[in-house]
A and B are shown apart, each in its own frame.
Chain A
Amino acid sequence: MLVTTCLAKYTVRVKTEFILSAASAVHHAILAHESEIESLDRAIGDGDHYINMKRGCATVLSMRDELATFAPDAALQRIGMKLLSTIGGASGPLLASFFIAMAKTAGEKGAETLPQIAAAFAAGVEAIRMRGKADIGEKTMLDVLIPVARTFVELTAQGVEPDCLLAAIRQQAEQGMLATRDIIATKGRAASLGERAIGHIDPGAKSCQIMITAVCDLIAA
């Protein structure tokens, strides 16, 4: 996701190769945070978030050879369709919508410049928002994704240096993730818990922050 974004900074172009490196970085980051994600999900979810994320990552990695032959937008589209048929539940359509919308915007408007890549990322986030009929402040992954997309679009439009851009994105992701701790959920798995959800970080927001940070780390390296 962010992957595409960051890559662009340095090469000013999204390459399929970068998408694959980012997928690998995301996979490692998810595995490294297993116990953290699981304990959050046990507290206010139903305990399957880590397994679903791991399955999604493994699925994308298993497509490496096939994806390597695709143009970036086609690769993103293929990832979206594959996730759609393998993850199931609610997270499958949400993640798939992200990749499919990103592929569409990248295909139509290009992903050659940073603002274009930011626009594709923002289109992906908007697709999650529409599909999930949710918005910021509902204790979901959107509490991370919406501010990150906004920052990404604004700063690339201003022509901010890559290092500053990465720093701002990391900070937004962390801030959005932490903000989910103090609110009740009105969408997603924790929506029936009411006050009982307060004090717990949303597992979906946490895994998004982990993935975004992992991609930023990859680019910085």
Chain B
Amino acid sequence: MKKFINKVDDILLESLSGFAAAHHDLVRLQLNPNYLVRANKAANKVALISGGGSGHEPLHGGFVGYGMLDAACPGHVFTSPTPDQMLAAAEAAEGGRGVLFIVKNYAGDVMNFEMAAEMLPFEHATVITSDDVAVVNSTWTTGRRGVAGTVIVEKVVGSLAESGADLAACKALGDKVNSRTGSMGVALTSCTVPAAGRPTFDIGDDELEMGVGIHGEPGRRREKMREADLIVADLVAAILEDLKPASNAEILLMINGFAGTPLMELYLLYNTAAALLKKQGLNITRSLVGNYTTSLEMAGASVTVCLLDDEIRQHWDAPVHTAAMRWGR
């Protein structure tokens, strides 16, 4: 393992500190318990709080700021954060309109957020994201996993919350976006959790893991490496089979990198995916390409399709200003 490390136990703290220093205009880092919160607290809006294991950056800290999250709780690498973090983040971010938790569907995350919600002294609701169409039950979930589509949920609901909508409306839109979003990923290499020091899984030079999760957990099957067009075709087919869009549906197409694949290849994937979707009669009006939900240094990518409607498109287009996503402002 070759990584930039001083002391393995200090990686998270040093990384969070660097993030907060680099984006001091946007976020403030609190420690013990750890959370990132907007540098300027927003008033009179539902507070959107997310969190999860670290190693998926920029998820979720990179999405704290105007038009998206109010706070994010980073856990240890690939380990859920704990309720004390969520409670402290809620105390700091809550602005009189209640708290909405946005949680990826992994057993640890769901249970920790659930316990925090039970102790929360504010009106609250939770949106659980489950966009991964690859597997119904995986190593860490009961039901489908929440993966890159979570970014779309956070962006769209973030805009609605910024407009002053109430908690019930934010929760309803989050659930709606989740239900209209499907993702599937493929890994070409493993990732290495720093504290473990060795790759999470073994994969041959001529192999790929189809349907991989964002922690390197197994997907649908191990397959032989093949040309990109054929890999993308499988990902797109699985997503369409799940979403069953109307033939002229308007969609957002996202190609998410797991961090070890260059942008050049992500755009190559976009090119193929877009062509396939157009051939199916789908109308791609919005897109997002980049490393948004990563798995440490894993090589690979996921395809996400979100079925747009006027409401979702309007909130997707609304201004946002965070470390990892910024437009219109």
Q: How far is the CA of A90 from the CA of B142 in the complex (A)?
A: 12
In the assembled complex, which residues on chain A have CB atoms less than 8 Å from the CB atom of B112? 88, 92-93
Q: Which A residues, 174 to 188, have Cβ-Cβ distances below 8 Å to chain B?
A: 187-188
Q: Are A192 and B84 in contact (CB under 8 A)?
A: no
The tally of residues in A whose CB lies under 8 Å from a CB in B reads: 22
Q: Are B142 and A84 in contact (CB under 8 A)?
A: no
Evaluate whether A94 and B80 lie within 8 angstroms (CB atoms) in the complex, with A85-B33, A189-B140, A191-B137 already known. Answer: no
Q: How far is the CA of A191 from the CA of B139 in the complex (A)?
A: 6
Q: How far is the CA of A47 from the CA of B79 in the complex (A)?
A: 13
Q: Which B residues, 83 to 100, have Cβ-Cβ distances below 8 Å to chain A?
A: 83-84
In the assembled complex, which residues on chain B have CB atoms less than 8 Å from the CB atom of A131? 111, 114-115
Give the distance to chain A from B209, nearest Cβ to Cβ, in Å: 13
Q: Check A97 for interface membership: any CB of B closer than 8 A.
A: yes
Evaluate whether A46 and B107 lie within 8 angstroms (CB atoms) in the complex, with A84-B83, A84-B115, A88-B112 already known. Answer: no
Select one of A86, A94, A189, A191 contacting B111, CB under 8 A. Answer: A94
* CB nearest to A87 among chain B residues: B82
Q: How far is the CA of A192 from the CA of B81 in the complex (A)?
A: 23
Q: How far is the CA of A133 from the CA of B141 in the complex (A)?
A: 12
Q: Check A89 for interface membership: any CB of B closer than 8 A.
A: yes
Q: Check A96 for interface membership: any CB of B closer than 8 A.
A: yes
Evaluate whether A97 and B80 lie within 8 angstroms (CB atoms) in the complex, with A46-B139, A133-B142 already known. Answer: no
Q: Check A132 for interface membership: any CB of B closer than 8 A.
A: yes
Evaluate whether A90 and B138 lie within 8 angstroms (CB atoms) in the complex, with A84-B83, A97-B115 already known. Answer: no
Q: How far is the CA of A84 from the CA of B85 in the complex (A)?
A: 11
In the assembled complex, which residues on chain A have CB atoms less than 8 Å from the CB atom of B76? 88
Select one of B81, B107, B135, B137 contacting A90, CB under 8 A. Answer: B107
Give the distance to chain B from A97, nearest Cβ to Cβ, in Å: 7
Q: Check B75 for interface membership: any CB of A closer than 8 A.
A: yes
Give the distance to chain A from B103, nearest Cβ to Cβ, in Å: 13
Q: Which B residues, 179 to 215, have Cβ-Cβ distances below 8 Å to chain A?
A: 196
Give the distance to chain A from B193, nearest Cβ to Cβ, in Å: 10
A-B contact pairs, 7 of them (CB 8 A): A85-B33, A90-B111, A92-B80, A92-B82, A92-B108, A188-B107, A192-B139
Task: Give A residues with C-beta under 8 Å from B.
Answer: 46-47, 84-90, 92-94, 96-97, 131-133, 187-189, 191-192
